[in-house]
Structure 1
């Protein structure tokens, strides 16, 4: 793409530029239960990227603080958070279809009404479907660390992505990250400390204790028993 100044310019010239993705879409096997859950619950809890910019006050039929989670996995902790914070509305984004099915099933079983999900690339959903200055919190828990050095460019927490999130967060909104890879935690800390418009909520200017709002997963509990660390970072948008 060296002869072009942007992807848009390349596209206008008929040149396709392959985007670096921060995830690998692993379809896995969709169980009959997951498929049935998607069929039954998608009409009420599913959102489509193709529908573009959303007014979430209309989606949820109320005005409430909006929390966005990127990559919710199987969705158990996301459903738990929505259940524990009924005064907030939650949007989950996940590309793994079995995870979407399980999340919808859990939400329906728990009678959760303040949760909607996208099955799409998070970067595109954030760009096309989320209004500027609308989010109270963005959550990114245990993203793919792309631990090999040659793959670090695929890590989702990069300077340009952080500035895109900044536009979507309201002033005072928080970007909350968590990882069990120390190297990725260090990478996140460097990127966020240098990011314009953010302030670290850590009193030691690095990491914060796990806040009560983030559920402790079985995976994390096992890690603690084995002596593995987990690092939480919370940065507030200040400008």
Structure 2
């Protein structure tokens, strides 16, 4: 039996975030009709991942694959999620729950993010690009976004800086100042967020403060994002999963 796929997002007080996650899960279902796919959340949104896993066990499932809908491998992926899975499996030793890699800095997701800023002509002379992400206390997670910005600079031939909504520097004003110091005249802000929410709104507010910047939307329920979810799932099952009927 093909194990169910439990997609788990961070969760947010902003209802747009959960709605976007559910829309993405719908796309995943459409791409893999042979797989049972469920949405869940670490916090703040319903249903929690622990409740979904317990329900699957009660329905008779003895295997499941959890796919973190996270763009970085930081505290939520390394600590929070494993602890929640352990909470479920500790008293269910016959329940095998595998946790896949995070979505991470995947080339397909980079393409989606670049498509979101395409209308702003990001390679035009005088343009500076900000790659905005959530920010983390984990230096490696922040470095991955900085590496992404460096790749885009080489690819597009314009100055690019990373920026973070919380927990790390540079923030949006500092990133824009860094780009202005390099001679940029117009600012384009790319979104390294999966869904809308409070932190992307903070990014947009700071970017628009006297700058009239172009601010892109998040990755959202794009079919290419769904494909990455299914790739992470397939890599985590014992045998290659049949993703379509």
Q: TM-score, normalised by structure 1?
A: 0.33
Which one has more relative contact order, counting CA pairs under 8 Å at least 6 apart? 2
Q: TM-score, normalised by structure 2?
A: 0.32
Structure with higher helix content:
2
